[in-house]
Amino acid sequence: MMRQYELVERVRRYNPATDEALLNRAYVYAMRAHGTQKRASGDPFFAHPLEVAAILTDLRLDDATIVAAVLHDTVEDTAATLDEIRSIFSPEIGALVDGLTKLKRLDLVSKRAAQGENFRKLLLAVAADVRVLLVKLADRLHNMRTLHHMPAEKRVRIAEETLDIYAPLSGRMGMQELRDELEDLAFRNLKPDIYATITQRLSDLSARSERLVDSIERDLSAKLEARGIRAEVTGRQKRPFSIWSKMERKSIAFEQLSDIFGFRIVVERLEDCYAALGVVHTSWPMVPGRYKDYVSTPKQNDYRSIHTTVIGPKSQRVELQIRTAAMDEIAEYGIAAHAHYKEAGGKDEVGIHPRLATESGAYQWLRRTIELLAEGDSPEEFLEHTKLELFQDQVFCFTPKGRLIALPRGATPIDFAYAVHTDVGNSAVGAKINGRMAPLLYELANGDEVEIARSDGQSPPAAWESLVVTGKARSAIRRATRSAVRRQYAGLGRQILDRAFERAGRSFTEDKLRGALPRLARISTEDVFAAVGRGEMFSGDVVKAVYPDFKEERRTGAPSLQQPPVEGAGRLTLAKDQTMRLTFPDSAAANVTHSEAIPIRGLDSDLAVTFAPNGGAVPGDRIVGILTPGVGVTIYPIQSVALAAFDNEPERWLDVRWDVEAGGGERFPAKIALQSINEPGVLAQIAQVIADHDGNIDNVSMKRRTQDFTDIMIDLSVWDLKHLTAIIAELRGKRAVSKVDRING
């Protein structure tokens, strides 16, 4: 633990006029306040605020900030009060400690359970005095350095929060050195195996490339010196998190990275930046598209530097940053560096942009946000003004109520909906982005305000799984899809069992079925319903499990639908409503009335329904259902030749009926085969006929049968049998079409 005199010495190195008595008073006060408190590591709690203060001395901050760092946990964790701190130290220090205490309550701002305290409040806590933020970032850095002492679950949560909030916020404040360390510490805790692998490979690469790095440094220094440019050239290796992020972003392997090493050229004067750039570009070829001038156009966080990439010695791609010493300090320490220059009397050193000598642009941004709040702007207007690129590695969006949602780049409103809540994602049907309707596949940008439109009856399509980018959304969609399919099978199974028990003349309740679960080897009634719906369990077996004395009279075969009715076979009858019905005289479908048949609405029905793969079925067709394991019910027209394959499986035959209204807006599949004359424009004529009749072509296949004729197979979507018949009749009237038939495979 740092001793009292060591703290004073650290401050005195950069500030000889420091108030030594103030620092000593803060040290003793905090040590007594924390007393025997311990951290998770077992170290005295007082060691933590001292380490936070030490980090801030590296940033050369003023006495008040250092004292606030030493005292920052006293009000929150001890019996100390703000009034006491104001009286013993000063109102300024009291205000800083107060700001840090409030900010501590906003800790875990990225955690869902605490996000009621939204982003606006976070900015409010730090915008009043930027030193509050500096102490908070130093506090987070030391906590991350000692995170390994925490339980695993808490480590993950804190590391995620650091990547979500504090590391990007450090970058927005221009404190790149601090941001890099926060990212690497979080990375090490979130993905320890990947971190260890990348670190080892970087170590091996560094050992192999040491001579090459030294050679490039010498070559650059010599070329610059020959042109009269005094410069310090240093090579540095990229950080593990930066490398992993690039590998993830570009989907490339470690070996494919060409810019693991970067070089920095620090010159004395502003004009030397461009002179050094000329030396570099005349010595080695530049990589197109890799030149950026942040000197003439600084970043919003005041970062200034020239970036370029060249093909250097031994065909090695070399990434270069060219800047002055003042720019270098601002690039590493951000607003903390500005505080140093401001204390020095606001001198405008050569190479410093004029506005940077008076106040940091990042701090000005914070000031503007607090001014907007002071003017009484609405939260919506406030959010609009904060839509700057605060978080550059992620997309941060907002709900209409101001809740902050952090998402990866490339995220869509679907990802956003699931980030809000799984139920919101499952019921999402549309989105408004910044008040305007947008597709659910819209790529979200920083600062977007997203409003999700919901429908209680909606469930997510399975195709969404391949469209989202977050793991939470993918797993939730996968679960919802499985659940929806299971509900379809269970609904179908329930209807099948209702009719099976009715045909058997036995009563059916879930309580009775529950008593038979051991005999059916199922855990719940829902499992039974789903198994029957999938065709994995036959309804007759369930009836016998519930009523062991039930004797089912099975017939030996299904009806031959291509032959005249015979005794014991299925029979087509004309019901009172003048519709053709198929009935069977056995337990599979005996004496079925119109109301007993399972209603079929189409592919979007609540049942697990598919249509005959080779020809489909349309309303108006006389139909029969075949129960197929793992598929559900497949609907065939009664004239389909494919039904002969199920003659010996009577337990799979189901009585079904259409349950669609005229003009219901749903199309059904059908297939037609045409024989046409082989001449130009025939296919266009056929397509025009179908289009004129409001038919939809799903697929077309063609085969040249002879020199003069072509066979054409067309998959159609039509409203009903009348619609299909009209299309076929029109096609038969075309001179170029010699034959048209409907396929009933």
Tokens, residue 209: 């490339």
Q: How far apart are CA 493 and CA 498, in angstroms?
A: 9
Helix axis angle, 47-58 to 63-71, nearest 10°:
160
Coil, strand, or helix at residue 262? Answer: strand
Cβ atoms within 10 Å, residue 74: 24
Beta-sheet strands, E only, within 294-392: 306-311, 317-324
Q: Which residues of 343-356 are buried (b: 16+ CB within 10 A; e: fewer)?
A: eeeeeeeebbbeeb
Residues linked to residue 437 through DSSP beta bridges, in sequence order: 432
Q: Is 296 exposed, middle or buried (0-12, 13-18, 19+ CB in 10 A)?
A: exposed
CA–CA gap between residue 392 and residue 585 (Å, rounded): 72
Which residue, chain included where needed, has tokens 């209409």? 400
DSSP 284-320: SPBPTT--EETTTS--TT----EEEEEE-GGG-EEEE
Place of tokens 């909906």: 417
Give dist(CA 420, CA 161) in Å, integer: 16
Q: Which of 76, 271, 443, 679 is catalytic?
A: 76
For 609-625, b where at least 16 C-beta lie within 10 A, e where not — what string?
bebbeebbbbbbbbbbb
Gyration radius from the chain CA atoms:
37
Q: 């029969």: which residue's tokens?
A: 624
To which residue do tokens 């997309």 refer? Answer: 395
Structure-token pair, residue 579: 């519709």
Report the alpha-carbon angle 446-427-112, nearest 5: 50
How many other β-carbons are positioned within 10 Å of the β-carbon of residue 96?
26
Backbone angles phi, psi at 566, to 5 degrees: -130, 170
Please tell me which residue in 9, 19, 77, 666 is annotated as part of the active site: 77
Give CB contacts under 8 A, 24+ apart, made by 725-731: 726/693, 727/672, 727/689, 727/690, 727/693, 727/695, 728/672, 730/689, 730/692, 730/693, 731/672, 731/674, 731/686, 731/689, 731/690
Q: Are strands 668-677 and 696-704 parallel, antiparallel or unpaired?
A: unpaired
Bridge partners of 668, per DSSP, are 718
CA distance 313 to 326: 29
The rounded distance, in Å, linking the Cα atoms of 72 and 506 is 76
* All residues at 6 or more sequence positions from 108 whose CB lies less than 8 Å from its CB, including other chains: 114, 157, 161
Strand partners, 711: 675, 703
CA atoms within 13 Å, Cβ hemisphere of 48: 27
Task: Return d(Cα 277, Cα 273) in angstroms, integer.
Answer: 6
Are 454 and 480 in contact by the 8 Å Cβ rule? The answer is: no
The verdict on whether 76 is a catalytic residue reads yes
Please spell the DSSP secondary structure of 70-126, one letter per residue: HHTTHHHHSS--HHHHHHHT-HHHHHHHHHHHHHHHT-STTSGGGTTS-HHHHHHHH
Q: What is the largest CA-CA distance in the chain?
A: 114
Active-site residue list: 76-77
